[in-house]
Chains A and B, each alone.
Chain A
């Protein structure tokens, strides 16, 4: 009888703890709990603008920020890369403690050499990544990135795509995001926290 009562109390305590953990997870937004549970992210191993293949495994625990876009993009991609460039300038040497990655969602048009030219307008530490359509699809799936072609006049196309910058810690877990709507001080504070976590 007593044993049973203890078992009931123990069960209640476990349920309560689990409940608060769930609430904590929902409240924590950019906390570590989110990282383990969202399942967003994964290793990246793609041909890079450096001329070699780039692998997140070679980062040696360095945190990274990754953004998916394409070079035939008139607004959000150059703006995001320009914002990141200004943010890295603000961070100063601290920016060396994180890696910024730009992955194309348009591998048919974006080669690593055309991306290299394109990225020369931005912070030289930003690495561009392309690959086969299958390689890109696999990475996009791991980061839950949505992308699709939108036909335009004259048989051309533009793209719809997820425009969030993912902030990944040294373990490769998602710790937060940057978005277009945020002001620079907010972005810099988030990147600073990310760099210092490495």
Chain B
């Protein structure tokens, strides 16, 4: 991994050095930095907003054939001065959606419905991810397929209900956070 990174770096350094003039180098560097921002923008594009609440990248996983349940994951940011709570959610292809919490305790996977919703503190964030708080899509009418976008809603106690779109990722996908396209971002 390190060796590979080193090789990639030295190759790009060599390439960079092949541009002799300072103007050329500045131009290339500017272009590279510009591309970086394009990448970040693309990564951030999948966002929804209602009042002070911002929802980042709602996603789910493809489900195996016949599966009746799926998980919903997202990050909620609260820019406001008062706390809010995610109290309900829905997905177009699910009969109903509940808020659950998963934990692994001594090798035992435990799932429990969350009473009263998920708090999103003022100027704080709440994360719904595979191994913690998540939305539980139940009675799926059809399997969720990788690459699909499925409409849903999120309801907050104060901000109200917002329409969102869940992007369907691979079966075993993990949260990518800000490391879009970076394999090292696929940690637990």
Interface, chain A (partner B; CB < 8 A)? 71-76, 78-79, 81-83, 86, 114, 117-122, 146, 150, 152-154, 156, 158-164, 177, 179-181
Contacts and interface: CB of A to CB of B under 8 A. Distances in A.
B138 A163 contact: no
B7 interface: no
A159 B67 contact: no
A153 B113 contact: yes
Interface in B160-186: 170-172
Contacts of A153: 96, 98, 113
A75 B65 contact: no
25 contacts: A71-B64, A71-B66, A72-B67, A74-B70, A76-B104, A79-B172, A82-B171, A83-B172, A117-B65, A118-B65, A118-B67, A121-B62, A150-B110, A152-B100, A152-B136, A154-B96, A156-B138, A160-B110, A161-B108, A163-B107, A163-B109, A164-B107, A177-B107, A180-B131, A180-B188
A33 B63 CA distance: 40
A118 B63 CA distance: 9
B69 interface: yes
B102 interface: yes
Nearest to A181: B188
A121 B104 contact: no
B28 interface: no
B3 to A, nearest CB: 15
Q: Which of B68, B100, B113 has the most CB of A within 10 A?
A: B68
Contact of B64 (A75, A76, A83, A121): A121
A75 B113 CA distance: 15
Given A78-B61, A122-B64, A72 B69 contact: yes
B57 interface: no
B96 A159 contact: no
B137 A74 contact: yes
A182 B147 CA distance: 27
Nearest to B187: A183
A179 B113 CA distance: 24
Contacts of B65: 117-118, 120-121
B14 interface: no
A75 B107 contact: no
Contacts of A159: 111
Which 9 residue pairs spanning A and B have beta carbons closest together?
Answer: A82-B172, A121-B64, A163-B109, A74-B71, A117-B66, A82-B171, A117-B65, A160-B110, A118-B64
B171 A78 contact: yes
A16 B88 CA distance: 63
Given A71-B67, A153-B98, 17 more contacts: A75-B134, A78-B63, A78-B67, A78-B171, A82-B171, A86-B172, A117-B64, A118-B67, A119-B64, A121-B65, A150-B110, A152-B100, A152-B136, A152-B138, A153-B96, A154-B96, A163-B104
Contacts of A154: 96
A130 B85 CA distance: 40
B64 A74 contact: no
Interface in B133-150: 134, 136-138
B58 interface: no
Contact of B136 (A74, A122, A181): A74
Contact of A150 (B69, B96, B111, B172): B111
B134 A74 contact: yes
